[in-house]
Each structure stands twice: as structure tokens, then as C-alpha cells.
Amino acid sequence: VQLDISRCSLSYEGHSVELTKNEMKILHLLFCHPGEFVARMDLIEYLWENQIFIDDNTLSVHMTRIREKMRTIGVCNFVETKRGMGYRV
């Protein structure tokens, strides 16, 4: 799985999908910490810089959309979720 920051896209085995700005930022932070869990609060702060105004569900919606896009190019179970820990690739 390759993340192309300049094109704001994700590719796998010749297939690619475009990402929104926030989807790109989420994946970029996860890719910067491979194998490590990134806490939800860390992602929220990275995306919106001020977690006070963001509903916790907003990040979940973005993660669902990322996973749907990944499935369209044949990538399943790439992003792992662990309750109380966060997300990792």
C-alpha cells in the first residue's frame, strides 16, 4: 500500500483511490508511525488542532470512509483499531 502525498491518493497493486484532505492527514500520521498505535486524541488534535469543537464520532466517520475506499482497491484490514489504544497500520 502506497500513500502519495503529492496526489492525495492511496494505491495498491495498480489501483488507486483519491483521498480527501482529512483522510490524507489521518493516513499520513498513521504511516509516520508504522506498527505503533496512534491515539484517537492525537489524531483529532493533528487534524483539527483543537479537540474541543470536534465530536468524537467525526473521526470514526473518516475512518469508515477510509476503510471503504481501501476496500475498493482491494485492501482489507490494513488499519487496525484497538479499543482504548487507537489506530495503526
Q: 0.75 cut: is pTM over it?
A: yes
Q: Which grid coordinates are listed for 7?
A: 496526489
Reported as a single tens digit per residue, the pLDDT across 64-79 is 999 999 999 999 999 9
Reported as a single tens digit per residue, the pLDDT across 6-22 is 999 999 999 999 999 99
Average pLDDT of span 26-37: 97
CA 68-70-75 angle, to 5 degrees, is: 125
Distance, CA of 84 to CA of 37 (rounded, Å):
10
**Which alpha helices (DSSP H) does 16-55 contain, by range?**
21-32, 40-48
CA 13-14-20 angle, to 5 degrees, is: 100
- Rounded to the nearest 5°, which phi and psi values hold at 17? -140, 140
Answer yes or no: are the C-beta atoms of 10 and 3 closer than 8 Å: yes
pLDDT at 52 over 70: no
